[in-house]
C-alpha cells in the first residue's frame, strides 16, 4: 500500500509516498480501505522534528473508509461498514489503516467530512470534560478553527453560554455556531467584561496565543483554565495542558453522530487534496489561510 512518510526533518518537500506492507488489525481493531484522512497542525510540527525524534515517521491520526478486515474478537462491525476513527499507530494517511477506536459514519457525511472529525471532536470533548463545562459561561480562545469550532458547538450542546475569540471576519461564523464573538488581541479582557461583567466560569485556550494570564483573570483562577496549545505557558501559570496521550475522550466518537444527525454539529472541510499532494496540504495548512479541516482523499481501487 501507498503511505505518507518522511525520512528526514524539514519542509513539506521531505514528504514522500512510499510502499509499505499492508497492516492487519489486532484484537478489537479493524482495518479500513482509507477513503479520506485528516491533516492536523501536529503533522507539520512532527515533520519539522518538533515532536518526536525517531525517523522515518508515518503520519495520520484519523481516517474514514470501508472496513475490509476485522481483528479477532471484534464483533461490533463487519466488512463493508463505513467507519471513521483513530489510527492505532499514527499511520492513517495511507491506502490502508488499522483503527483502534471507531464509530459508524453519520449518514449525512461523506468520507472527507467524517475523516475531519476524530481529532477535533475528541480534543474539544476532552478539554470541555476537564473544565467541567455544563450550564455556565465558557470563553474559548481561538474559537473559529477546527478544534475551536468543535468546542463551541459541543459546549452549546451542553447548555453553556459560549464566548469565542476570532478575527472579525469569522464573527458571523461564530454566531452561526451559537457563540458570542469577541476579537482577540489588545483589549481582550475589556471586550469580554463588556458582555460578561462577572467574568466567565471557565476558559479554554485553543490558540496558544500567550493569553493565559488574561484567561485566568476572567475565569477566577488557573484551575478554571485548560490549554491545548500553550505548553510553556501552562507550566508557568499552573494551568492544565490537555494532551491526548494521557487519556483520550474516546466516548466523543460514538456520541457525535447524534448531534450531527440532528443538525446540531458540523465541522467544515476547508480543502481536500489527493494523497499524493500531501506536501501541498502542509503548505496550505502552515499558511493558515483556509478555514476548516484539510483532508487527504484516496480514490477507491
Ligand atoms: N493538545 C492536544 O491534544 C491538541 C489536539 C489537537 C490540536 N492541538 C493544537 O491546537 C491548536 C489549534 O488546532 P486547530 O486544528 O483548531 O487549528 P486551526 O483550525 O488552524 O485553527 C487555528 C485558529 O486560531 C485562530 N487564531 C490565530 N491567531 C489567534 C490569536 N492570536 N488569538 C486567538 N485565536 C487565534 C485562528 O482564528 P482566525 O482565523 O479567526 O484568526 C484559527 O481559526 C494547534 O496548535 C494544534 O496543534 C492540540
pLDDT at position 159, please? 98
The predicted-structure confidence for 173-183, as pLDDT tens digits, reads as follows 999 999 999 99
**Rg of the chain's alpha carbons, rounded to an integer?**
19
Task: Determine phi and psi for 130, rounding to 5 degrees.
Answer: -65, -30
Between 299 and 181, name the one with better pLDDT. Answer: 181
Mean pLDDT of 50-75: 96
Do 165 and 68 fall within a single domain?
A: no
Do 97 and 124 fall within a single domain?
A: no
Query: Residue 197 is part of a domain; what is its CATH number?
Result: 3.40.50.720
Residues 120, 145: contact at Cβ < 8 Å?
no
Q: Ligand 1: which of 210, 228, 286 to mutate, judged by most atoms within 8 Å of the beta carbon? A: 228
The predicted-structure confidence for 251-267, as pLDDT tens digits, reads as follows 999 999 999 999 999 99
pLDDT at position 300, please? 78
Do 19 and 110 fall within a single domain?
A: yes
Mean pLDDT of the chain: 96
- Given a cut of 80, is residue 114 above it in pLDDT? yes
The answer to whether the CB of 204 is under 6 A from ligand 1 is no
Please give the torsion angle defined by the CA atoms of residues 65, 68, 73 and 78, in that order, rounded to the nearest 10 degrees: 80
Is 164 inside a domain boundary?
A: yes
d(CA 141, CA 164): 6
Do 223 and 137 fall within a single domain?
A: yes
3-state secondary structure of 123: helix
The answer to whether the CB of 227 is under 6 A from ligand 1 is no
| Nearest partner of 75 among 39, 126, 29, judged by Cα | 29
- Given a cut of 90, is residue 208 above it in pLDDT? yes
pLDDT at position 291, please? 84
Instruction: Indicate the pLDDT class of residue 84, thresholds 50, 70 and 90.
Output: very high
- Given a cut of 80, is residue 93 above it in pLDDT? yes
Burial class (CB in 10 A: 0-12, 13-18, 19+), 233: buried
Smallest CA separation from ligand 1 atom 21, residue: 145
Q: How many domains does the chain fold into?
A: 2
Is 202 inside a domain boundary?
A: yes
Question: What percent of the chain clears pLDDT 90, i.e. is strictly above it?
Answer: 95
- Residue range(s) defining the domain that contains residue 205: 120-246
Supply the pTM of this predicted model.
0.96
Is 181 inside a domain boundary?
A: yes
Q: Which residue has the cell 488489525?
A: 25
d(CA 288, CA 277): 17
The cell numbers describing 113, all together, are 467530512
- Given a cut of 90, is residue 66 above it in pLDDT? yes
Mean pLDDT of 121-135: 97
Q: Which residue has the cell 472541510?
A: 269
- Given a cut of 80, is residue 301 above it in pLDDT? no
Residues 250, 101: contact at Cβ < 8 Å?
yes
Query: Residue 103 is part of a domain; what is its CATH number?
Result: 3.90.180.10
Q: How many residues comprise the chain?
A: 301
Mean pLDDT of 210-217: 98
Do 107 and 139 fall within a single domain?
A: no
pLDDT at position 290, please? 86
Smallest CA separation from ligand 1 atom 41, residue: 167
Q: Residues with Cβ < 8 Å from 117, sequence gap 6 or more?
A: 38, 62, 84, 253, 256, 267
Tell which atom from ligand 1 comes closest to the C-alpha of 147.
16
Cα 21 to ligand 1 centroid, rounded to whole Å: 34
Q: Which residue has the cell 448531534?
A: 259
Beta bridge partners of 103: 84
Is 257 inside a domain boundary?
A: no
Do 285 and 173 fall within a single domain?
A: no
The answer to whether the CB of 288 is under 6 A from ligand 1 is yes
Mean pLDDT of 277-296: 94
Do 234 and 138 fall within a single domain?
A: yes
Is 282 inside a domain boundary?
A: yes
The answer to whether the CB of 214 is under 6 A from ligand 1 is no
pLDDT at position 32, please? 98
Is 107 inside a domain boundary?
A: yes
Cα 301 to ligand 1 centroid, rounded to whole Å: 35
Do 45 and 163 fall within a single domain?
A: no
Do 35 and 124 fall within a single domain?
A: no
pLDDT at position 246, please? 82
- Given a cut of 90, is residue 288 above it in pLDDT? no
Smallest CA separation from ligand 1 atom 43, residue: 145
The answer to whether the CB of 96 is under 6 A from ligand 1 is no
Is 254 inside a domain boundary?
A: no
Which H or E run contains 190? helix 188-195
Cα 168 to ligand 1 centroid, rounded to whole Å: 16
Is 253 inside a domain boundary?
A: no
- Given a cut of 90, is residue 299 above it in pLDDT? no
From 87-91, 125-129, 177-181, 282-286, the region with the lowest mean pLDDT: 87-91
Q: Ligand 1: which of 39, 40, 41 to mutate, judged by most atoms within 8 Å of the beta carbon? A: 41
Amino acid at each position: 500500500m501507498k503511505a505518507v512518510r518522511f525520512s528526514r526533518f524539514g519542509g513539506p518537500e521531505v514528504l514522500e509516498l512510499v510502499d509499505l506492507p499492508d497492516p492487519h488489525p489486532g484484537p478489537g481493531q479493524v482495518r479500513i480501505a482509507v477513503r479520506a484522512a485528516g491533516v492536523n497542525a501536529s503533522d507539520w510540527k512532527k515533520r519539522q522534528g518538533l515532536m518526536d525524534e525517531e525517523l522515518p515517521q508515518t503520519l495520520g491520526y484519523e481516517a474514514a473508509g470501508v472496513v475490509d478486515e476485522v481483528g479477532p474478537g471484534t464483533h461490533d462491525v463487519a466488512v463493508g461498514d463505513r467507519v471513521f476513527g483513530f489510527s492505532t499507530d499514527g499511520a492513517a494517511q495511507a491506502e490502508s489503516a488499522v483503527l483502534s477506536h471507531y464509530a459508524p459514519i453519520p449518514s449525512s457525511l461523506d468520507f472527507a467530512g467524517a475523516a475531519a472529525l476524530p481529532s477535533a471532536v475528541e480534543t474539544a470533548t476532552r478539554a470541555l470534560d476537564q473544565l467541567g463545562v455544563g450550564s455556565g459561561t465558557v470563553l474559548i480562545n481561538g474559537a473559529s478553527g477546527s478544534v475551536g469550532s468543535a468546542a463551541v458547538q459541543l459546549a452549546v450542546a451542553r447548555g453553556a453560554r459560549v464566548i469565542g475569540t476570532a478575527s472579525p471576519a469569522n464573527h458571523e461564523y461564530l454566531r452561526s455556531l451559537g457563540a458570542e464573538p469577541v476579537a482577540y488581541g489588545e483589549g481582550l479582557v475589556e471586550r469580554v467584561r463588556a458582555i460578561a461583567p462577572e467574568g466567565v466560569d471557565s476558559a479554554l485556550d485553543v490558540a496558544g496565543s500567550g493569553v493565559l494570564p488574561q484567561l485566568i483573570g476572567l475565569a477566577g483562577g488557573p484551575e478554571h483554565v485548560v490549554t491545548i496549545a500553550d505548553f510553556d505557558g501552562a507550566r508557568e501559570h499552573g494551568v492544565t495542558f490537555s494532551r491526548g496521550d494521557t487519556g483520550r475522550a474516546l466516548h466523543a466518537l460514538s456520541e457525535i453522530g447524534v448531534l450531527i444527525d440532528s443538525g446540531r454539529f458540523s465541522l467544515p472541510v476547508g480543502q481536500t487534496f489527493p494523497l499524493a499532494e500531501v506536501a501541498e496540504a502542509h503548505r496550505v495548512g502552515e499558511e493558515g489561510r483556509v478555514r476548516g479541516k484539510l483532508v487527504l482523499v484516496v480514490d477507491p481501487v
